[in-house]
Structure 1
């Protein structure tokens, strides 16, 4: 029998854990009002939902609202990398029929757009570093397979520390080298981890293809994932678009802030980037695109007429009431911490993906997601009892785009990590250059003093 079976939990241990958790509940927890009493900004957010300002950056700006006399005014979202609009960056590359992912990585790391010669040389450097160290795939991936590719990405990045002759040198020159190597190697790690996972856990054949030095990042990802190594240029350009859109999103998002926190302690690059991967893995962050796909399957199974707005609206009402879907009360892919009227990434992705979906089996699913985007804001306003503005975020469409590219669901968040590595490294470099202090917010202690009781007297 093929496939790996995980060991069942020990029943006695389960019982012991249940008892311990009961004791934990007795001695932990606090009145939520204490947060208001002490002015605690939970999630490092102000009362109006804006983020606590923890630093300044030149890497990226995420602009989603205006503040006027203390009131948050919705606007169409804007995303700029190093001052350049993301829509302009993508349009510029599309006008010249070239890939934008490599140019974006250069821009984020260095702060300016490359010349043609600089971009060609940078692409060559990335190509030269896509291969993993000798025996790395065999020793670090094949021998310790994981059913979760994000877990394998984090472990593999940490393992690269042992292959680096200067892992703890945090000079800008050395971190720049490490950053370029990581940007180049992440797709190779993901592809190998997925192929090994297929063989070990799914009982399927695996295909370990080497990257082609003549290909872009997007082309190589499709080449390494597919058994026949075949893809169309249209597919590769759509994947490249996704990678560019996900490359960066400001210093305050959970994973990037995690990278900056670890960087402020002057730890090594591999530990800092692994922290970013760990944060991105969570369903409240990068894992959200997988939840959208799960939500789409619920919709397809429970909505008879995908063109009937009334039927879709009623399903969404049941979902936000916790009576449908995963019973969470959430509509995944809707809402954002910064964007109010629109997410520019969602606009660009939807516009480009619909062109490829037209006339295919995916066209109906895109229309279904479009209905969610149109109807969910009113459904959510009914739930909240307010006129609060909400919009679709990039996760609403990215999962279906990846499916359209025949990319397995378990790779949706890892692809996000591959794209975001350039942004994480740019923020690490900036934190090393300008941070100056270890990041150390405060927590208010509310526990009282206790007198020590000898062990024999406890009962």
Structure 2
């Protein structure tokens, strides 16, 4: 069997959660186009759809929202644990540790019990935003802000993070951003979640493993790197020169290209529109003009190769306008993607078989043992 590095193009499971057509720039959750969900749904409604397979009824959505609201608060022991983390630690490491720690508090691994599964979903969806916001304030030397029961999901997170009740437009845009990042088929972190789930461990370990995978710069940190790139370019008229040098030196242009898409990522187009709404209300980010210029230059040079902006290209600009620190961009990604991870966890349980891929061995064949005193000393003397 030929080697396919990274399992690129190799089907390893069946799923009814997410459908991507990279040539047409189409993304659907459970059959619903992402454009319709971003225009009409809320993040919690989309979360329900992803995990349970159908749009909720009015009563189901109300119950789901209420349950999430009731479980936002953290145990004082979890807060105390977060206070023990070093202020210099990366928020993704704090999130992975705290997500795994939830398994200590809810350690009953009854994955054949629908009630346990439902409660685990509620706790993870509810508490992960609180943990992200809590660590942000703790590392600034402040006490975490308690969730507000009168605020919806996205508004409450921005309130806990910034200590101010957000403008309705800001809350709306952030909620839509969560929808756009909630699921994207078998990406690296989702595959990690499914592999972990296949061992029948608890869902907190599943999410923690996915968070650890998302923390890698080749997966979740690209929107941070986009901002750094735009700042390096500095002004719109330098975008073409930067791009030419990057192409010449075979450097990766952050926020461009995707394994699935050969056209502009549909999420990037939606995010750009959301960004323009924010900028029109609160003033433009000076880096937005740089981004637009870079995209225009890149279409001519990279478009024929099927390389276009992906979801990371504009998301960082939006998060920055919302007052989210740069090193929280990826934890915010995790807040959203937990919906997809849990959907794949639940689907994996439905027809489980532990993952055990093969390999192509490239090491030495049979070797003869050499006693320690007879081995050559290769250290320079």
TM-score tier, shorter chain, comes to over 0.9
Cα distance in structure 1, aligned partners of 2:338 and 2:63 = 20
> Relative contact order: is structure 1 or structure 2 higher (C-alpha 8 Å, sep ≥ 6)?
2
Within the alignment, does 1:440 sit opposite 2:356 as a pair? yes
Within the alignment, does 1:43 sit opposite 2:6 as a pair? yes
Cα distance in structure 1, aligned partners of 2:281 and 2:106 = 49
Q: Which moved more, 1:359-368 or 1:148-157?
A: 359-368
Within the alignment, does 1:291 sit opposite 2:207 as a pair? no
SS at match of 1:358: helix
Cα distance in structure 2, aligned partners of 1:299 and 1:182 = 39
Deviations 1:429-449 (A, max 9, x none): 000102x31111111112222
What is the match of residue 223 of structure 1?
Answer: 159
State the shift of 1:207 in Å: 4.4
Cα distance in structure 2, aligned partners of 1:380 and 1:348 = 21
1:299–1:359 CA distance, 2 compared to 1 (3 A): farther
SS at match of 1:87: helix
SS at match of 1:332: coil
What is the match of residue 8 of structure 1?
Answer: none
1:377–1:40 CA distance, 2 compared to 1 (3 A): farther
State the shift of 1:358 in Å: 2.6
What is the match of residue 341 of structure 2?
Answer: 424
Contact residue 181 and residue 337 of structure 2 kept, 8 A: yes
State the shift of 1:136 in Å: 1.6
What is the match of residue 118 of structure 2?
Answer: 176
Please show how residues 129-148 of structure 1 align to structure 2 within 5 Å.
129-138=71-80, 140-145=81-86, 147-148=89-90
Cα distance in structure 1, aligned partners of 2:46 and 2:92 = 23
Cα distance in structure 2, aligned partners of 1:257 and 1:104 = 21
What is the match of residue 79 of structure 1?
Answer: 27
Cα distance in structure 1, aligned partners of 2:122 and 2:369 = 54
Q: Which residue of 241, 256, 260 maps to 2:190?
A: 256
Cα distance in structure 2, aligned partners of 1:391 and 1:165 = 44
TM-score for both structures, normalised by structure 1 = 0.78
Name the Cα RMSD after superposition. Answer: 1.6
What is the match of residue 335 of structure 1?
Answer: 257
Contact residue 107 and residue 202 of structure 2 kept, 8 A: no
What is the match of residue 266 of structure 1?
Answer: 200
What is the match of residue 457 of structure 1?
Answer: 374
Cα distance in structure 2, aligned partners of 1:207 and 1:163 = 22
State the shift of 1:109 in Å: 1.1
In our comparison, the structure showing a higher alpha carbon Rg is: 1
Within the alignment, does 1:315 sit opposite 2:263 as a pair? no
State the shift of 1:335 in Å: 0.5
**Unmatched segments (≥5 aa) in structure 1:** 1-37, 46-50, 66-74, 94-99, 200-205, 323-327, 382-386
Within the alignment, does 1:57 sit opposite 2:15 as a pair? yes
Cα distance in structure 2, aligned partners of 1:389 and 1:380 = 7
What is the match of residue 97 of structure 1?
Answer: none
Runs (4+) of structure 1 exceeding 3 A deviation are 377-381
Cα distance in structure 2, aligned partners of 1:151 and 1:414 = 9
What is the match of residue 55 of structure 2?
Answer: 113
SS at match of 2:305: coil
Cα distance in structure 2, aligned partners of 1:402 and 1:371 = 20
SS at match of 2:148: coil
Cα distance in structure 2, aligned partners of 1:235 and 1:106 = 23
What is the match of residue 379 of structure 2?
Answer: none
What is the match of residue 18 of structure 1?
Answer: none
SS at match of 1:61: strand
State the shift of 1:380 in Å: 3.9
Deviations 1:100-140 (A, max 9, x none): 011011111111111222111110000011111233201x1
SS at match of 1:198: coil
**Unmatched segments (≥5 aa) in structure 2:** 377-381
Q: Which residue of 43, 66, 72 maps to 1:101?
A: 43
What is the match of residue 347 of structure 1?
Answer: 269
State the shift of 1:165 in Å: 4.7
Contact residue 288 and residue 333 of structure 1 kept, 8 A: yes
Cα distance in structure 2, aligned partners of 1:270 and 1:337 = 29
Contact residue 247 and residue 420 of structure 1 kept, 8 A: yes
1:82–1:359 CA distance, 2 compared to 1 (3 A): closer
Contact residue 145 and residue 193 of structure 1 kept, 8 A: no
Cα distance in structure 2, aligned partners of 1:390 and 1:113 = 34
Cα distance in structure 1, aligned partners of 2:202 and 2:56 = 28
Cα distance in structure 1, aligned partners of 2:275 and 2:50 = 25
Deviations 1:27-56 (A, max 9, x none): xxxxxxxxxxx62100101xxxxx211111
Aligned length: 373
What is the match of residue 358 of structure 1?
Answer: 280
Q: Which residue of 298, 310, 315 maps to 1:393?
A: 310
